[in-house]
Chain A
């Protein structure tokens, strides 16, 4: 079994992006008590978890924190858990935040991977997305990243933004590629329930691409980035080389245990998943009383695990390991469903070879539906 991963959720933002579904607050008055609390939360799990070989500081906006605050958190991690020297330690950075000195200090804290929330190189799209940076900030942030000596970093991009067409999207991709990031994530703008974006969408303020247009964006992204030397290894993720994939995210996809700290964070261990309060108040209150700020949990049944394994495997280019799946769930998929496999192969949605059922690019576009077939 792989070593577990640690996720740390920093629930603060200067401004809220209308599309974002993750928990955060713009009230930063409780940052200091939050830092004390999250370290207290680490202590609560020091017995259950031992060693992490990935640490991911996300949010929210972790780059709002000062170096001193981040240092406290990272020191806390080291105090309560073992983190080997070769561990992947990632932090999400908003391109509007930080100067070269701040980036350099991150490096000295042991952070070795940056994830930059660029989202777009079009100022028009950035405005729609409610981002507080401009495309110039993104170039500057990349500059700082490189100058501070980070060789492992990734960019987030969003497509399907109203007003965007294939041509303007290609220009954003070209800008991204010109900066040679080892890792790229490209997400389709999703209208999540209970977000301001969802509300204005329902009011008819804007249109989103239809199914055909979405597919065109998806295929163009894949083709463009593959041509530029990136491997499309998961629905939304691209890496210049296998070693530059996000090691942390892969733990979510293959049921490796992970511990999530901070409001709204999810954890998984030994078939149980639990999640923290999605409010800073509830979170702080529980920790002040010395109890884990857990809002709910569930124990996955075999059927739950099976479905998760299917849909998460089919979101990756590697796909399903037939033998491993059979060992765990007692189902030899190609033997049970030969005609389905054959028609999916004929339809160009999967490839079945070397004991793996792997989605093609078109298959990745319909990964969820593929999972429901079996």
Chain B
């Protein structure tokens, strides 16, 4: 049993791309967590997508045995956190498992919106904060400016900062020493009843769900009967242990430690991040604070391109769900696209990730409906409905009041982009703005905006108008009145329900026209003229036409070389197979996707 004095639990927090994963890799390498031969860059980001996008999606944990200058060996538990606003609750649970954080700041970019958001989170949890200036090797690094920001914008003592280049491997030893010396060792009473905080879970196809937790008080060992205090279920512990590069089985996990519990939990959905584990026969008084039911905020339906693949998709979703507790789905059916699933996501990035993983890892060809937020509708009979699926939108005449969710968006940028960003926010129905200047030449802009405006392309456009220098963070605030209508898209008079959208009336015409134009660009000419229309109820608000295909470029077909021509046609035929038939019109997947994106030019 390790004495708590020799444990440090910490996390690295940073704005996206400030080098969190690279630093984590260096710490692992430096403490001998793995030798250079087996070293695979960014071990903590172990999904392909994470590595490609450079962001961490799931939390991970690893124990680093470190012999400090004082001659003692410490167990440094690094709890990695997801690096995107969609996953802020998961971040908060990881932080609740720590005593301190490394606040990583890019020497060239300086303090950004998520640097601040993460700092506030860490402060809420009373954590020791060690500012680390990374990427000091960059030619554009401006360490003096960042030190100035640490003082003026973060309000931290400038003497506390460390400098490193995770890429070059400089400054790593100082960071490890600072973790030992400045981050407090965990507190907790091994003799007290068990209370353990769940900060993540992973699915192992042999062992079932592997629960990642921090033991606050008490001890847990195999054979114990544990209970999830919110979930209510009880399980018998099969194995406990620490995370090294792989799981290391231990006799017990004790107060202050970070590790895993395997207890025959079949599905990951039974384990909720933030829940408290205690012992069935000797429970603690009350659960640990901060538990929240994670609720999806963005919804979309997923359909297989070929309706025969529905069963396949169902199996893939089930498997995918095993490792993503925040992803929810249920059966859904579209008149146009057949059987599918209505899915809920934490945000648009989460949606992107799920779609990409289903296509890449599960080899599914998908059509995704236009993402929607969850609207609140009060009907004339007084009942209140939450609607996130346009196909469940009640008749307009039954609706007394419509409301949509609003967010508070915090954006930080060099002052020179202020005008362009404000214009964008106003276009997105932003209101109640406030502006502050946390440092010279830097502006922080707060806007309240409808979430529905943000889920389409806000982030891309924000990045583009601020030329990549802006950063963005948001939180949901409340529902507000909104004049909502349902816009349907008709292809040759047939409603394509998957393309329907619930939008603010002022935006309906623009949105309908844009959908028609997008479809026109993406749907290839066919044997007949295709009418594309947008409608609110029976009223056509926009229309456009795709002319019929009229002439093949008919290559000569003699000399007996018929194989060549057949191969050309086969290629075209393959392309058509990836299309969805609506009435007699073949619509390519790209058309459905194109409708999601609004104008970015």
What residues of chain A have their CB less than 8 Å away from a CB belonging to chain B?
7, 9, 21-22, 58, 187-188, 190-192, 211-212, 214-215, 218, 235-236, 249, 252-253, 258, 260, 265-268, 273, 275, 298, 304, 307-308, 311-312, 315, 339-340, 343-344, 347, 349, 362, 365-373
| Distance between A368 CB and nearest chain B CB, rounded to angstroms | 4
Cβ contact within 8 Å between B553 and A273: no
Cβ contact within 8 Å between B527 and A369: yes
Cβ contact within 8 Å between A308 and B566: yes
Residue of A nearest to B557 (CB): A315
- Residues on B with C-beta less than 8 A from A267 are 560
Nearest first, the 9 closest Cβ-Cβ pairs linking A and B are A266-B560, A215-B551, A368-B552, A214-B551, A215-B550, A365-B551, A190-B555, A266-B561, A211-B551
A258–B552 Cα distance when bound, in Å, is: 27
Q: List CB contacts (< 8 Å) of B543-572 with chain A.
A: 548-563, 565-566, 569-570, 572
Cβ contact within 8 Å between A371 and B569: yes
State which of A214, A275, A349 has its C-beta within 8 Å of the C-beta of B561. Answer: A275
Cβ contact within 8 Å between B566 and A304: yes
A218–B552 Cα distance when bound, in Å, is: 10
- Residues on B with C-beta less than 8 A from A214 are 551, 553
A258-B560 contact in complex given A347-B528, A372-B569, C-beta closer than 8 Å:
yes
State which of B559, B562, B566, B573 has its C-beta within 8 Å of the C-beta of A58. Answer: B559
A155–B566 Cα distance when bound, in Å, is: 27
| Distance between B494 CB and nearest chain A CB, rounded to angstroms | 13
Cβ contact within 8 Å between B527 and A188: no
| Distance between A305 CB and nearest chain B CB, rounded to angstroms | 10
24 contacts between A and B (CB under 8 A): A7-B560, A9-B559, A190-B554, A190-B555, A192-B555, A214-B553, A235-B554, A253-B557, A260-B559, A266-B559, A266-B560, A273-B563, A275-B561, A307-B570, A311-B565, A311-B566, A315-B557, A347-B548, A349-B527, A366-B551, A367-B554, A368-B572, A369-B552, A372-B573
A252–B552 Cα distance when bound, in Å, is: 20
- Residues on A with C-beta less than 8 A from B307 are none
- Residues on A with C-beta less than 8 A from B562 are 252, 266, 268, 273, 308, 312
State which of B528, B550, B561, B572 has its C-beta within 8 Å of the C-beta of A343. Answer: B528
Residue of A nearest to B528 (CB): A347
- Residues on A with C-beta less than 8 A from B559 are 7, 9, 22, 58, 260, 265-266
| Distance between A253 CB and nearest chain B CB, rounded to angstroms | 8
| Distance between A20 CB and nearest chain B CB, rounded to angstroms | 10
Residue of B nearest to A349 (CB): B527
Cβ contact within 8 Å between B557 and A312: yes
| Distance between B522 CB and nearest chain A CB, rounded to angstroms | 18
What residues of chain B have their CB less than 8 Å away from a CB belonging to chain A?
526-528, 548-563, 565-566, 569-570, 572-573, 576, 584
| Distance between A222 CB and nearest chain B CB, rounded to angstroms | 12
A21–B564 Cα distance when bound, in Å, is: 12
Cβ contact within 8 Å between B549 and A369: yes
A236–B569 Cα distance when bound, in Å, is: 19
Interface centre among B553, B560, B561 (most CB of A within 10 A): B560
A190–B556 Cα distance when bound, in Å, is: 8
Residue of B nearest to A250 (CB): B558
- Residues on B with C-beta less than 8 A from A211 are 549-551
| Distance between B467 CB and nearest chain A CB, rounded to angstroms | 35
State which of A260, A311, A344, A367 has its C-beta within 8 Å of the C-beta of B560. Answer: A260
- Residues on A with C-beta less than 8 A from B550 are 211-212, 215, 362, 365-366
- Residues on B with C-beta less than 8 A from A188 are 553-554
| Distance between B327 CB and nearest chain A CB, rounded to angstroms | 38
State which of B528, B553, B556, B570 has its C-beta within 8 Å of the C-beta of A236. Answer: B556
- Residues on B with C-beta less than 8 A from A298 are 563
| Distance between A42 CB and nearest chain B CB, rounded to angstroms | 17
A192–B561 Cα distance when bound, in Å, is: 14
Cβ contact within 8 Å between B554 and A307: no
A340-B554 contact in complex given A58-B559, A311-B565, C-beta closer than 8 Å:
no
